[in-house]
Amino acid sequence: MAYLFTSESVSEGHPDKVADQISDALLDNFLAFDPESKVACETLVTTGQVVLAGEVKSKTYLDVQNLAREVINEIGYTKGAYQFSGDSCGVISLIHEQSQDINQGVDRSSKEEQGAGDQGMMFGYATKETANYMPLALDISHKILIELAKLRREGKEIPYLRPDSKSQVTIEYSDDNIPQRIVAIVVSTQHDDFDTDDNTMLAKIKEDIVKILMPRVIAQLPEYVQQLFNDKIVYHINPTGKFVIGGPHGDTGLTGRKIIVDTYGGKGAHGGGAFSGKDPSKVDRSAAYASRHIAKNLVAAGVADEILVQVSYAIGVVEPTSIFVDTYGSSNVELTDGEIAQKVAELFDMRPAAIESRLKLRNPIYKETAAYGHMGKESKTVRKVFESPYSGKVELDVELFTWEKLDYVDKVKQAFGL
């Protein structure tokens, strides 16, 4: 019997994502001026207020209040009507120095012997159902909101859009896990107040989403995905009605509350640790990226059609406590999942320092991860400029989303005889 699966995404203007982007912007600036910075920065945003808290060990000093304002304005919260603006909000910093009890387990005389920054388990996942090896429902959900943000910034075809929005896509699958059709799409978008009555306003928003936004999204998709769209799709557009009050004024935002949006939309698994605001000594982040890198390269090499990789650590301990692989019965090699995991452990050095080095994680590459997912993006090199009233100006060429590179495919094929 066919089954349904759903994933959601949230926009860069969603309160939790505002908090994530501020936390990662601060992290990037610390790393730009001191690559060995240890950072765990949490952000809270609410009506007219931003609270920064956390622990930092760094040689540099930042104007964190100004950096937070820059992020808020860049997202699009620039008007008094939003009750939250980068130019007028209060910013309180409660950031303090990292605990020496934690630091002693991480820093070692030899960089290679760096211990894990915390205990826990991290997961990576990949599937061949999309070109970027991501779950299809999540991939479409992200694309809907990325395109909606473009329309908002263009300000022409849908001029009333505000920054806060959410999307959700439901797909029907066959028993053999092949997508058959898109069943339902949900889009809730914040908007300016209308002069018309609520029913007229909602009808206009629905028409614009279905007739302007969705064709732009569908045009980006490969033909086999376009064929999943049909005239029976149920659209829920702003189903609660009017959505003028939104963003941090409508709902308090916190760093790390959208971990499923950040990863695989409910497919695979999640260890529970958030990413944003954490430097790569925190394996919550670095090992999750490394696990995605492993899973993606294994699927791309043909080891299996779908793979979940789990790794676990003890705080202050160098080697992982376990590596686990689940191919969901989709393996293309004559090995058990346990035997595949053993080969993974031989191919990929999962010590924290080795992960940092292999994926170039001591660079300021994190703000770009903080909206529309940490996984499934294109790896590319960009030039970034950082300026500080205390440390001057730094220009760096950095490689984004290194964990998305298919640079181990040949090694995997050789190891598995493919």
Q: Is 384 annotated as a binding residue?
A: no
Instruction: Check if the beta carbon of residue 168 is closer than 8 Å to that of residue 183.
Output: no
Q: Is 243 annotated as a binding residue?
A: yes
Q: Is 85 annotated as a binding residue?
A: no
Q: Is 274 annotated as a binding residue?
A: yes
Q: Is 257 annotated as a binding residue?
A: yes
Q: Is 290 annotated as a binding residue?
A: no
Distance (Å, whole) CA 337 – CA 233:
38
Q: For residue 93, how many other CB atoms are within 10 A of its CB?
A: 17
Q: Which residues of 339-361 are buried (b: 16+ CB within 10 A; e: fewer)?
A: ebbebbbebbebbbbbbbebbeb
Q: Is 282 annotated as a binding residue?
A: yes
Instruction: Check if the beta carbon of residue 366 is closer than 8 Å to that of residue 28.
Output: yes
Nearest-10 Cα torsion for 123, 127, 130, 134: -10
Q: Is 166 annotated as a binding residue?
A: yes
Q: Is 8 annotated as a binding residue?
A: no
Q: Is 165 annotated as a binding residue?
A: yes
Strand partners, 187: 167, 237
Per-residue CA distances from 397 to 241, 380, 394 (Å): 45, 10, 10
Q: Is 55 annotated as a binding residue?
A: yes
Q: Is 192 annotated as a binding residue?
A: no
Per-residue CA distances from 240 to 14, 253, 388 (Å): 17, 20, 44
Q: Which two tokens stand for residue 13?
A: 């203007």
Task: Determine phi and psi for 77, rounding to 5 degrees.
Answer: -85, 85
Q: List, as residue ranges, the binding site for Mg(2+).
A: 16
Residue numbering of the annotated binding site for L-methionine: 55, 98, 251, 282
- Residue ranges for the known binding site for ATP are 14, 164-166, 242-243, 251, 257-258, 274, 278
Residues at the binding site for K(+) are: 42
Which residues are known binding-site members?
Answer: 14, 16, 42, 55, 98, 164-166, 242-243, 251, 257-258, 274, 278, 282
